[in-house]
Structure 1
Amino acid sequence: MPAESARVLHAQLHLLDRQLIDQADGHLAGKIDDVELDLGTDPPVVAALISGRERITARRIADIDTAVTISAEGLNLDYYDDWIEAHVVDKIPGASDATE
């Protein structure tokens, strides 16, 4: 059985605050807020990325470069954008046209 290729990543440098890109359409899907590690392995490996309220499992990660490309199907990565639009932006007089 061939050995899996591995990459050493420094979470603070290579993952945190990186832009998430939806692999399907290139849509900017958010930023990485936190990283979940599997500490049961040596060395620990990335188990999931956290963006807003969503946990993005490692199997959804397609590529890690200057941004992180993921399979975002079924994830609600726009929750906070939608909330801010509904509860803040739409309440500003004259701003209703700005979100269209």
Structure 2
Amino acid sequence: MTVAGKVLHAQLHLLDRQLIDQASGALLGKVDDVELDLDADPPVVSALISGRVRIPAVQVMEIDTAVKIVPGELNLTSGDDWANKHIIDHIPGAGHAPE
């Protein structure tokens, strides 16, 4: 992937980077994998994968120490929501759990 004249290496510049909502600054997860368009010459990154969610490359706004995206309709926090509801909320002292 080339951004503003820079060549990015997926392993160094994309994988395990924090995903941030460009508008709100909310932390949305980490980049777990990349999807390549092998029909392009040279091959390019066509999407980022976080958990089970595919983030099209057009939603990536900036790549620096973190990856800023426009999440649109993507729900990147569903895993966190599940963990909070089924695990964290049942720990005594964690909010709604009985002491």
2:69 alignment counterpart? 70
Moved more, 83-92 or 57-66: 83-92
> Unaligned 5+ residue runs, structure 1?
none
2:60 alignment counterpart? 61
**SS in structure 1 opposite 2:49?**
strand
Pairwise CA distance, 1:21: 0.8
**What TM-score results when the alignment is normalised by the length of structure 1?**
0.85
The aligned runs of 1:1-100 (5 Å cut-off) are 6-97=5-96
**SS in structure 2 opposite 1:30?**
strand
Aligned partner of 1:83: which letter? W
Alpha carbon RMSD of aligned pairs, Å?
1.9
Distance 2:5 2:58 in 1: 14
Greater strand proportion: 2
1:38-90 Cα offsets, whole Å, 9 max, x none, are 01112210100011121000000101111011001211011110011111111
**SS in structure 2 opposite 1:59?**
helix
**SS in structure 2 opposite 1:76?**
coil
**What TM-score results when the alignment is normalised by the length of structure 2?**
0.86
Number of aligned pairs?
A: 95
**SS in structure 2 opposite 1:96?**
coil
> Unaligned 5+ residue runs, structure 2?
none
